[in-house]
Amino acid sequence: MKIFYSETHRRHQPPFEVFDGGVRVPYLENPDRMDRILNALRGVDWAEICEPADFGLDPILAVHDREYLDFLASAWTEWLDAAPKDPATLIPATFPLRRQPRKPTSLLGRAGYYIMDLSACIVEGTYPAALASANCALSAAQAVMEGERAAFALCRPPGHHAGKDYAGGYCFINNAAVAANWLTSCGRVAVLDVDYHAGNGTQDIFYERDDVLTISIHADPDFEYPHFIGFAEERGRGRGFGFHHNLPLPKGTGDTEYLLTLDQALQRIREFNPSFLVISAGMDIYADDPLGTIKVSTQGIGEIGRRIAALGLPSVIVMEGGYANDALGRNILAFLSNFDNGR
C-alpha cells in the first residue's frame, strides 16, 4: 500500500493549546503522533512510504473560500508585525457568532471569524504544513484513481473539522474533502468519517451536494465537541437532502454497538453505489484515548477496517485524530492491514 507522508508537518508545532476553563496544556496534536505511526508502518512489508506531489491551490480552492486561505497564508506574518505580548502562537480571544455577514478587517477580528476554537493554534509553519497535508490526501486520491485498491494519506494537521471558511479542532484544510471533491471528476464519492468527533467541516462543505454522500459516526454532540453540529436530524439541504447522515453514539459505546452502527453506514454506502470511498480515519475511538469516551478496542478497530474494506471500493484513507500515542501505531496497522493491495 502506498503511504503518502511529508516531513513538513513538523513545522506545525504550537507550544500549547487551551482546554475548557482556560487551562493551558501541551499541544496534543503533535509530531510524536506521526512518529509512532511511521515506526509501525516501517515494520511491515506492505507499506510503501511516498512523498506527496504538489497539486497547487486549485483543488483546495474548489472546497475552501479564497479569503480564508489568504488569511491562513498571511496570519503569522501579520501576528508578528502586530508585536504581541506573547508571540508564541496566534489564538484569538473573540469568536463572532456570525449572525452578521460583515467580515472584520483587523487580524484578531479575522482570526476570530475564521477560527472556531482554541485548539486551531497558528504558528509560523502552520500554513505550509496544512498545504502538505492536503497534498498527501490528493496524492492518495490520485493513486487510487490510477488503479490502487487503497492508499493512505498520513495527514498532519488533520482536516475534518475545517469548514469552507473556518479552522477548528486542530484542522485548517479539510484533507478528506479536498480529496473527495477532486475524485468527483471521475464519479460519485462517499465519505465515511469514523473519527470520535463529528466531521462538522466535511458536513459544511458537502451539505448541499448530491454527488458526495457524507456519513459521520461519532460521539453525540449533545455532550461532545463540536457541540453545535453532528445531530441525527441534520441530513443535508436542497439537492443535498438525504445525502448526509450523522450517526451519534452515547458515552461508553463498545465494539459490538459501534459495529452495528457501522453496518448501517455501510448499507447506505452500498445503496449510493459510489465509484470511490474516502475514509476519515480517526483513531480517537480507541478505548484509552485521552479525548474520547467511546471504548473501541484495537481488535474492534481492525474489524471496522475489515468491514469497510469488504465494500470492495477504491479507497482513500485519510488520517484524522487519535491521541493515545502509545497505541496509535498498532491501531493504524490493525485498520490498514485489511486494505493492503496485495491481500
The secondary structure of residue 249, as a DSSP letter, is: E
Beta strands in the chain (DSSP E): 2-4, 17-18, 24-25, 48-50, 150-153, 189-193, 212-219, 244-249, 276-281, 315-319
How high is the pLDDT of residue 112? Answer: 93
Reported residue count of the chain is 343
Instruction: Report the pLDDT value the prediction gives residue 342, as an integer from 0 to 100.
Output: 41
- Hey, what's the cell of 284? 480517537
- Tell me what pLDDT residue 343 has: 40
pLDDT digits (tens, 9 = 90+) for 79-90: 999 999 999 999
Query: What is the C-alpha separation between 336 and 48, in angstroms, rounded?
Result: 13
Radius of gyration (C-alpha) of the chain in whole angstroms: 19
pLDDT at res. 95: 87
pLDDT at 214: 98
Would you call 64 a catalytic residue per the annotation? no
Catalytic residue among 9, 64, 160, 161: 161
Which residue matches cell numbers 502506498?
2
Please tell me whether the peptide bond between 59 and the residue prior to it is cis, using omega within 30 degrees of 0.
Answer: no
Sequence-distant (≥ 6) Cβ neighbours of residue 81 within 8 angstroms: none
Calculate the alpha carbon distances from 305 to 144, 190, 244, 262, 265 in Å: 17, 16, 21, 10, 13
Q: Is 134 exposed, middle or buried (0-12, 13-18, 19+ CB in 10 A)?
A: buried
How confident is the model at residue 94, as a pLDDT?
A: 86
Interval 259-311: pLDDT, tens? 999 999 999 999 999 999 999 999 999 999 999 999 999 999 999 999 999 99
Q: Where are the domains of the chain?
A: 2-12+29-53+129-339
Block mean pLDDT (10 aa), the chain, length 343: 98 95 95 98 97 98 98 97 94 82 88 95 98 98 97 98 98 98 97 98 98 98 96 98 98 98 98 98 98 98 98 98 98 94 44
> Would you state the pLDDT for residue 103?
86
Rounded distance, CA 232 to CA 237, Å? 14
Fold of 2-12+29-53+129-339: Arginase; Chain A (3.40.800)
